[in-house]
């Protein structure tokens, strides 16, 4: 069952990682990882300590920046990075 307007194949309530900077709206999402174990990470691209990682729903992460929906078919083990909100993403 796919939700209208939600581009990810994973369910909207799937756990996703964000850093505190992204969650607080302090910094934009500049780095998105789709881990080998299937988890998504939405990070600011800066340095982090373990306690900076927060868990929210994939839907909540998507709603922080709906342009991340363009990465919904990114394979496991890939990371997308961009320099700022206006620049193109590089996937590696
Ligand atoms: Zn951060």
Is residue 38 included in any domain, yes or no?
Answer: yes
The predicted pLDDT at position 4 comes to 66
pTM: 0.93
Domains in the chain, number: 1
pLDDT in tens, 20-49: 999 999 999 999 999 999 999 999 999 999
Sequential DSSP letters for 1-54: -PPTT---SS-TTSEEEEEHHHHTTSS---EEEE-TTS-EEEE-SS---GGGEE
Is residue 61 included in any domain, yes or no?
Answer: yes
Q: How far is the CA of 46 from the centre of ligand 1 (A)?
A: 5
pLDDT in tens, 67-83: 999 999 999 999 999 99
Is residue 29 included in any domain, yes or no?
Answer: yes
pLDDT in tens, 45-61: 999 999 999 999 999 99
The boundaries of the domain holding residue 43 are 15-68+76-82
* pLDDT at residue 6 tops 90: yes
Is residue 45 included in any domain, yes or no?
Answer: yes
Q: How far is the CA of 2 from the centre of ligand 1 (A)?
A: 30
Beta bridge partners of 79: 33
Q: How far is the CA of 1 from the centre of ligand 1 (A)?
A: 32
* pLDDT at residue 1 tops 50: no
Is residue 57 included in any domain, yes or no?
Answer: yes
């Amino acid at each position: 069952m796919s939700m209208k307007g939600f581009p990810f194949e994973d369910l909207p309530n799937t756990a996703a990682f964000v850093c505190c900077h992204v969650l607080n709206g302090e910094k934009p999402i500049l780095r998105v990882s789709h881990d080998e174990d299937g988890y998504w990470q939405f990070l600011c691209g800066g340095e982090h300590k373990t306690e900076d990682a927060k868990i929210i729903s994939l839907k909540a992460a998507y709603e922080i920046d709906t342009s991340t929906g363009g990465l919904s078919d990114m394979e496991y083990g890939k990371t997308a990075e961009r320099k700022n909100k206006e620049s193109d993403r590089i996937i590696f």
